[in-house]
């Protein structure tokens, strides 16, 4: 009996040693690979941003001042793994971001979530701070102004760092314009960025939302929604900006135009696509096709489990005429639905979807050009 017990203990000890050794090797390889990709970043040329933003004393938000066209480049679902299993794919993702930003020359970059992908069996790590540091190093090297909203993968429940910690790190970066927003509003990163003219009136406001991750008790596929107190924050923000402009211009009836950015699409994306398809893929009074493809299996839209009231308030306030999201990597379409443009950004991802590294039609970036006349035009740009 004692011999069998000793033998069993030896086997357990050997297994534990093997597990610890394997973990150590995987960790070491991941660190070495991350360092190699950081050196890769140092070879990129500076892109730069021509317009210097400032924090407006009245509105308290980051503000760009220009009477000219203003270019936003939307990136989404970059999915940096920064682990032993993702070294090559991380390098490809970094190259892709550099190539697109050098080509498109943005005034501001907006990343609509999932910068990081701390999934251990694909990335080889759950250290999402390492992933954040790699992306920050990239943006610091390119020297462009940028901001982001959180996606569901940026801070998984089992990853080392939570939203507050990742946000605090990003906010230390010299050209990151992210704000954590009010503590009284659910999520981390409900905030605005304004573009004003030489008269200081707001030309366009960019509204950022934390669309959260999963519903309570879920760790995958069952997604959350924009919460009611976030919607009230949005209403309050638009109302305050309308009042700000009215005080400057004397026009009390004018509504500040805005765009909205989030990671997980609203349920209305699904409504819009189904309405378009139900009409025989033809434009109607309610929905109009603009561009792009529905590449997800079954043309699915992976929206929240419950419908948010946000879109109803968007229609009520009449401010937001464009909403931009990510999340569904193979969807690249844009539709005008009830007068609001619903848009998927093009993804970067080489890692998350099985076989996606070999697919090219969805990979790239989206430009959003804010015109001097107050309109905006968006366009997809493929990497290849």
Domain ranges of the chain: 2-382
Mean predicted lDDT score pLDDT of the chain? 95
According to DSSP, the β-strands at 364-370 and 376-382 are antiparallel
DSSP-derived letter for residue 19 is H
Which residues sit opposite 342 in a β-bridge? 323, 335
Is it the case that residue 124 has pLDDT exceeding 90? yes
CA distance 292 to 289: 9
CA distance 337 to 325: 15
Residue 33 has a pLDDT of 85
Spell 18-53 as b/e; 16+ CB within 10 A means b: eeeeeeeebeebbbebbeebbebbeebeebebeeeb
Residue 384 has a pLDDT of 87
Q: How many CB atoms lie within 10 A of CB 317?
A: 17
DSSP 321-360: EEEEE-S-TTB--EEEETTEEEEEPPB--SSSSTTGGG--
pLDDT digits (tens, 9 = 90+) for 130-187: 999 999 999 999 999 999 999 999 999 999 999 999 999 999 999 999 999 999 999 9
Residue 27 has a pLDDT of 76
Band (pLDDT 50/70/90 cuts) for residue 18 is low
**pTM of the predicted model as reported, rounded to 2 decimal places:** 0.94
The CATH homologous superfamily for domain 2-382 is: Metallo-dependent phosphatases (3.60.21.10)
């Amino acid at each position: 009996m004692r011999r069998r017990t000793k033998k069993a203990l030896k086997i357990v000890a050997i297994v534990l040693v093997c597990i610890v050794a394997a973990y150590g090797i995987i960790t070491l390889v991941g660190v070495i690979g991350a360092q190699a990709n950081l050196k890769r970043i140092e070879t990129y040329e500076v892109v730069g941003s021509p317009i210097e933003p400032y924090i407006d004393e009245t509105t308290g938000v980051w503000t760009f001042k220009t009477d000219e066209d203003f270019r936003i480049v939307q990136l989404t679902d970059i999915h940096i793994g920064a682990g032993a299993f993702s070294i090559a794919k991380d390098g490809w993702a970094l190259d892709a971001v550099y190539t697109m930003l050098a080509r498109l020359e943005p005034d501001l970059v907006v990343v609509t979530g999932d910068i990081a992908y701390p999934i251990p069996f694909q990335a080889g790590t759950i250290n999402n701070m390492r992933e954040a540091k790699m992306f920050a190093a990239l943006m610091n090297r390119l020297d462009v102004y940028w901001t982001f909203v959180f996606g569901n993968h940026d801070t998984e429940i089992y990853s080392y760092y939570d939203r507050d910690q990742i946000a605090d790190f990003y906010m230390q970066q010299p050209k990151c314009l992210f704000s954590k927003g009010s503590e009284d509003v659910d999520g981390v990163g409900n905030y605005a960025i304004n573009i004003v003219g030489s008269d200081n009136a707001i030309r366009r406001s960019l509204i950022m939302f934390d669309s959260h991750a999963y519903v309570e008790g879920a760790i995958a596929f069952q997604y959350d929604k924009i919460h009611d107190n976030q919607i009230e924050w949005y209403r309050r923000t638009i109302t305050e900006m309308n009042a700000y402009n009215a005080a400057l211009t004397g026009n009390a009836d004018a509504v500040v135009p805005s765009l909205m950015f989030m990671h997980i699409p609203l349920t209305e994306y699904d409504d819009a696509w189904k309405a378009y398809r139900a009409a025989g893929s033809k434009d109607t009074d309610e929905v109009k096709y603009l561009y792009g493809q529905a590449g997800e299996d079954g043309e699915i839209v992976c929206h929240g489990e419950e419908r948010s009231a946000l879109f109803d308030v968007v229609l009520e306030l009449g401010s937001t005429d464009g909403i931009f999201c990510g999340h569904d990597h193979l969807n690249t379409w844009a539709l005008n639905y009830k007068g609001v443009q619903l848009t998927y950004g093009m993804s970067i991802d080489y890692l998350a979807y099985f076989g996606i590294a070999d697919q090219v039609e969805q990979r790239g970036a989206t430009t959003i050009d804010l015109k001097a006349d107050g309109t905006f035009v968006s366009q997809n740009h493929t990497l290849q």
